[in-house]
C-alpha cells in the first residue's frame, strides 16, 4: 500500500511538472511575445497602441513587456520616413527586434526607409562638452544596454536585433560612449550582452567615439551596414566572437577598431574608404538620400586616421578580405595592441603606409598592398607618447570651448615603447609603393638616448615585390623611423613619422654582429648562375652563392626570380645552409629545372634572402634582398 501510494504520488508529481512546463512554454511562446507596429513618425511618449504608435512608444512597450518582442513599421506614405527626436529614445533594456525592412516600400538597394534623427537634441544640448553636473552629454540614437538600471527581473537585451534603420545626427560626448548603437551600455564595466545583430542600417554624421560601439558583447554580428561621415564608424571593446562584415564606410577617423580586450573577432569583406573622393561621396549621398553631401566632401575629416586599427590589447582577431583605401596614416594598423592578430587577403591602397604592425606574432599574409605613399608593409617598434591621457570617462576631462583637454583628472607624461617581434609577412603582393616594399626597422630611443625597443625575428617570405621606389626589403635602424601616437583624449592628434626610404641597403658585416631591425641580418651574395640546356631540351639553372652570418647557425636561403633586378616576383625555391666557425656557408647551390610555371622566360634576374632558422626549425629574422644577378648574363 505504501508503495502504491508512493507510485501514485510520483505520477501525480510528474503530471504537475508537465503541466507547469506547459504553462511556461505557453508563457514564452504566446503570452509574452508582442509585435508593436510603429504607425507614425511622431516622437510621442507613452505606450504603444495598435492604432497609434510612435517608435518611442513601441520601445517603451517592448521594454515593459518582459521577454523578446518585435517592433515593425507601417507608416503611411512611400517616402523615406524620419523620426525627429526631441530627446533621446529610452535605452533598449530587453531583447527586441526593430525591423525597418517591414516598412512598406523598403528596398535594400535604397537603404533604410525609416530612421531617427538627433539633430534637434544636439541643437538644444550641444555635444561633447560637459553638463552642469559634470556628467558628459550623451545623446545616442539606439542605446542597447544589458538590462534596465533597476534590474527588472527577467529583462535582458541579449538577442536584440536592429535591421534597416537610418541613424543620423547623433552625438555622444563621453569618451567611452558610442555614437549610436552601443550594446553593453555607457561604460566598459557594464554587464555583458550576447547575440546582438545590426544589419542593413545606415549611420550618418554621428559624432562620437564611434557610430556603432560594441562593448562587452559576445557573438555580435554586424552585416551590410553603411557608414558615412561619422567621426568613427565601428568599435569593438571587450568583445569576443564578433563579426563585422560586408559593410561600407566613407570617412571615419578610424573606420573600424578592435580595442581593449577584444578577441576572436573578425572584420571581413568590408570596404573602408578613409578619404573618399567628392565623386564617391556624391554617389553614396545620392543613393542614400543625403542631400547635404551631394557634390561635397565629408564634414568630419578633422580626425581621420586609419582604415582598420587594432590596439589596446586586442588579440587573436582577424581582418580579412577587406578593401582599405586612402588612409592618411595607415591602411591597416596594429599598434600597441595585443598579439597574434591576423591580417590576410586584404587590398590596401593609396594610404601613407599600407599595413603596419608594432605588435608581436602578427601574421600578414596574402594581402595586396599597392600605391601607398611610403612603404607597402612596415614592421617597427612603436613609441607611444602619452601627454594627456584620459583613459576613462569616469574621470571626465575639463575641456575648453573647442573640446580641447585642459585637465584630464590625471595625466601621464611618459613614453611607452613596444617592440615588434615574431611577425610572419608571407605571400603578399606589394607593388608601386613610393618607398620600400617591406620595411623592418626603427630602434625606439628613449629621451636619454637609450635604445629601448627593436624589432626582430620577423620572417618575410614568398612575397611578390616589384616596382616600388625603395628597396624590396629595407632593414633600418633609423631612430626616426618609429610610429608615434599622441593621445589627447577627445582632441586626439595623430602622427606617423616615417621616411619614405629609410636608409637603403644596409651593408653586410663580418659574423653579423650588428643589432637592430631583424638584427640587421646579413643577406646572401649570389656569385654565379649556370645555365644548362641538355640534348633532350631540358633546361636547368644552378644558382650559386655564399652567406656570411653568425657562426654555427642554420639559415634558410629563399630564391626569387624577377623581370627586373632588385625585385622578388616569384619564389622559385629554398635551401638550408649551416655556417662554420667563420660564419661562412660557402658555395651553396640551388639546382632547378626551368619550367614555365616556375620561371617565365622574361624572368632574367635572380635574388635571394637569408632567414635565421631557430633551434626548433622556426623561421626568425629575414635579411634584405640580395643583389640580383642575371640568368644569362647582360
Ligand atoms: Ca520585451
Ligand atoms: Ca637598410
Ligand atoms: Ca648584419
Ligand atoms: Ca646582425
Does residue 224 sit in the same domain as residue 145?
A: yes
Residue 387 has pLDDT above 60, yes or no: no
Give the model's pLDDT for residue 335.
80
Place 393 in a pLDDT band, splitting at 50, 70 and 90: very low
For residue 475, give the nearest of 432, 508, 497, 452 by alpha carbon.
508
Ligand 1: centre distance to CA 52 (Å): 19
Residue 485 has pLDDT above 60, yes or no: no
Domain membership flag for residue 482 = yes
Does residue 534 sit in the same domain as residue 390?
A: no
**CATH number, domain at 28?**
2.160.20
Domain membership flag for residue 317 = no
The mean predicted confidence, pLDDT, of the chain is 82
For residue 526, give the nearest of 508, 551, 552, 550 by alpha carbon.
508
Number of neighbouring beta carbons within 10 Å of residue 373: 15
Shortest-distance ligand to the CA of residue 510: 3
Does residue 150 sit in the same domain as residue 196?
A: yes
Ligand 3: centre distance to CA 591 (Å): 27
Average pLDDT over residues 502-522: 93
Number of neighbouring beta carbons within 10 Å of residue 234: 32
Domain membership flag for residue 166 = yes
**How far apart are alpha carbons 445 and 5 in whole angstroms?**
86
Give the model's pLDDT for residue 103.
97
Q: Which of 2-11, 277-286, 586-595 has the lowest mean pLDDT?
A: 2-11
Q: Which of 41-45, 140-144, 357-361, 526-530 has the lowest mean pLDDT?
A: 140-144
Ligand 4: centre distance to CA 234 (Å): 42
Does residue 84 sit in the same domain as residue 183?
A: yes
**CATH number, domain at 585?**
2.60.40.10
Residues 444-479 pLDDT 10s: 666 566 666 778 999 999 999 999 999 999 998 765
Does residue 41 sit in the same domain as residue 179?
A: yes
* CA 478 vs CA 231, 380, 441: distances in Å: 34, 11, 7
Q: How many domains in the chain?
A: 3
Domain membership flag for residue 310 = no
Domain membership flag for residue 211 = yes
* CA 508 vs CA 136, 218, 255, 624: distances in Å: 57, 51, 41, 10
Share of the chain above pLDDT 90, in %: 52
Share of the chain above pLDDT 70, in %: 76
Residue 50 has pLDDT above 90, yes or no: yes
Domain membership flag for residue 515 = no
Domain membership flag for residue 318 = no
Does residue 357 sit in the same domain as residue 408?
A: yes
Residues with Cβ within 8 Å of 14's Cβ and at least 6 positions away in sequence, in order, are: none
Ligand 2: centre distance to CA 473 (Å): 8
Higher pLDDT, 219 or 408: 219
Ligand 2: centre distance to CA 165 (Å): 52
Does residue 486 sit in the same domain as residue 452?
A: yes
Ligand 4: centre distance to CA 571 (Å): 24
Shortest-distance ligand to the CA of residue 522: 3
Shortest-distance ligand to the CA of residue 477: 2
Does residue 420 sit in the same domain as residue 468?
A: yes
Give the model's pLDDT for residue 271.
97
Give the model's pLDDT for residue 487.
37
Higher pLDDT, 297 or 46: 46
Cβ proximity of 587 and 632 under 8 Å: no
Give the model's pLDDT for residue 122.
83
Shortest-distance ligand to the CA of residue 442: 2
Number of neighbouring beta carbons within 10 Å of residue 94: 25
* CA 170 vs CA 6, 76, 550, 630: distances in Å: 66, 25, 60, 62
Ligand 4: centre distance to CA 549 (Å): 7
Place 588 in a pLDDT band, splitting at 50, 70 and 90: very high
Give the model's pLDDT for residue 149.
63
**How far apart are alpha carbons 54 and 77 in whole angstroms?**
15
Does residue 99 sit in the same domain as residue 198?
A: yes
Residue 238 has pLDDT above 90, yes or no: no
Cell match 523615406: residue?
A: 80
Does residue 490 sit in the same domain as residue 564?
A: no
**How far apart are alpha carbons 613 and 198 in whole angstroms?**
46
**How far apart are alpha carbons 374 and 385 in whole angstroms?**
22
Residues 416-442 pLDDT 10s: 567 789 999 999 999 999 999 999 986
Higher pLDDT, 452 or 364: 364
Residues 322-350 pLDDT 10s: 999 999 888 999 886 678 999 999 999 99
Give the model's pLDDT for residue 151.
58
Domain membership flag for residue 512 = no
Residue 452's domain comprises: 325-504
Q: Report the length, in residues, of the chain.
A: 634
Residues 295-319 pLDDT 10s: 888 877 656 678 999 987 899 999 9
Does residue 297 sit in the same domain as residue 184?
A: yes
Q: Domain boundary residue among 476, 504, 532?
A: 504
Shortest-distance ligand to the CA of residue 96: 1
Average pLDDT over residues 53-77: 96
Does residue 546 sit in the same domain as residue 471?
A: no
Amino acid at each position: 500500500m505504501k508503495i502504491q501510494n508512493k507510485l501514485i504520488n510520483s505520477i501525480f508529481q510528474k503530471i504537475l511538472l508537465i503541466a507547469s512546463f506547459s504553462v511556461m512554454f505557453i508563457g514564452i511562446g504566446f503570452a509574452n511575445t508582442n509585435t508593436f507596429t510603429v504607425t507614425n513618425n511622431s516622437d510621442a511618449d507613452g505606450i504603444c497602441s495598435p492604432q497609434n504608435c510612435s517608435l518611442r512608444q513601441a520601445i517603451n512597450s517592448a521594454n515593459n513587456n518582459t521577454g523578446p518582442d518585435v517592433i515593425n513599421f507601417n507608416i503611411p506614405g512611400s517616402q523615406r520616413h524620419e523620426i525627429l527626436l526631441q530627446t533621446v529614445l529610452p535605452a533598449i533594456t530587453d531583447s527586441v527586434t526593430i525591423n525597418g525592412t517591414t516598412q512598406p516600400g523598403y528596398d535594400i538597394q535604397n537603404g533604410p526607409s525609416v530612421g531617427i534623427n538627433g539633430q534637434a537634441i544636439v541643437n538644444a544640448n550641444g555635444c561633447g562638452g560637459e553638463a552642469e553636473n559634470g556628467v558628459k552629454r550623451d545623446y545616442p540614437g539606439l542605446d542597447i544596454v544589458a538590462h534596465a538600471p533597476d534590474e527588472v527581473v527577467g529583462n535582458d537585451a541579449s538577442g536584440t536585433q536592429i535591421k534597416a534603420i537610418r541613424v543620423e545626427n547623433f552625438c555622444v560626448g563621453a569618451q567611452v560612449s558610442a555614437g549610436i548603437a552601443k550594446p553593453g551600455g555607457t561604460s566598459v564595466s557594464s554587464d555583458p550582452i550576447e547575440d546582438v545583430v545590426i544589419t542593413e542600417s545606415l549611420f550618418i554624421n554621428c559624432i562620437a567615439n564611434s557610430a556603432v560601439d560594441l562593448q562587452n558583447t559576445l557573438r555580435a554580428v554586424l552585416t551590410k551596414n553603411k557608414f558615412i561621415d561619422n567621426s568613427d564608424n565601428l568599435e569593438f571593446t571587450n568583445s569576443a566572437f564578433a563579426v563585422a562584415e560586408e559593410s561600407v564606410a566613407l570617412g571615419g577617423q578610424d573606420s573600424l577598431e578592435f580595442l581593449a580586450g577584444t578577441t576572436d573577432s573578425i572584420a571581413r569583406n568590408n570596404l573602408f574608404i578613409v578619404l573618399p573622393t567628392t565623386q564617391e561621396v556624391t554617389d553614396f549621398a545620392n543613393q542614400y538620400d543625403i542631400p547635404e553631401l551631394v557634390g561635397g566632401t565629408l564634414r568630419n575629416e578633422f580626425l581621420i586616421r586609419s582604415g582598420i586599427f587594432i590596439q589596446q590589447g586586442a588579440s587573436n582577431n582577424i581582418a580579412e578580405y577587406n578593401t582599405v583605401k586612402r588612409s592618411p596614416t595607415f591602411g591597416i594598423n596594429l599598434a600597441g595592441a595585443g598579439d597574434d592578430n591576423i591580417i590576410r587577403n586584404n587590398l590596401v591602397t593609396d594610404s601613407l603606409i599600407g599595413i603596419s604592425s608594432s605588435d608581436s606574432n602578427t601574421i600578414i599574409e596574402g594581402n595586396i598592398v599597392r600605391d601607398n605613399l611610403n612603404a607597402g608593409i612596415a614592421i617597427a617598434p612603436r613609441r607611444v607618447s602619452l601627454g594627456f591621457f584620459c583613459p576613462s570617462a569616469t574621470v571626465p576631462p575639463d575641456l575648453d570651448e573647442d573640446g580641447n583637454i585642459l585637465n584630464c583628472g590625471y595625466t601621464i607624461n611618459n613614453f611607452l615603447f613596444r617592440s615588434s617581434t615574431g611577425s610572419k609577412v608571407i605571400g603578399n603582393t606589394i607593388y608601386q609603393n613610393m618607398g620600400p616594399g617591406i620595411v623592418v626597422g626603427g630602434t625606439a630611443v628613449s629621451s636619454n638616448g637609450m635604445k629601448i625597443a627593436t624589432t626582430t625575428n620577423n620572417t618575410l617570405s614568398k612575397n611578390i615585390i616589384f616596382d616600388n621606389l625603395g628597396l624590396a626589403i629595407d632593414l633600418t635602424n633609423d631612430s626616426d623611423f618609429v610610429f608615434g601616437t599622441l593621445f589627447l583624449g577627445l582632441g586626439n592628434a595623430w602622427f606617423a613619422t616615417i621616411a619614405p626610404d629609410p636608409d637603403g641597403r644596409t651593408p653586410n658585416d663580418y659574423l653579423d654582429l650588428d643589432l637592430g631591425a631583424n638584427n640587421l641580418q646579413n643577406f646572401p651574395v649570389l656569385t654565379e648562375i649556370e645555365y644548362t640546356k641538355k640534348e633532350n631540351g631540358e633546361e636547368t639553372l644552378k644558382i650559386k652563392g655564399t652567406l656570411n652570418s653568425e657562426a654555427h647557425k642554420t639559415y634558410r636561403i629563399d630564391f626569387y626570380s624577377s623581370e627586373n633586378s632588385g625585385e622578388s616576383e616569384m619564389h622559385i625555391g629554398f635551401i638550408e645552409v649551416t655556417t662554420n666557425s667563420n660564419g661562412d656557408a660557402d658555395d651553396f647551390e640551388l639546382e632547378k629545372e626551368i619550367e614555365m610555371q616556375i620561371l617565365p622566360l622574361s624572368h632574367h634576374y635572380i635574388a635571394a634572402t637569408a632567414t635565421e632558422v631557430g633551434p626548433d626549425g622556426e623561421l626568425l629574422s629575414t635579411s634584405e634582398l640580395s643583389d640580383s644577378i642575371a640568368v644569362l648574363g647582360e
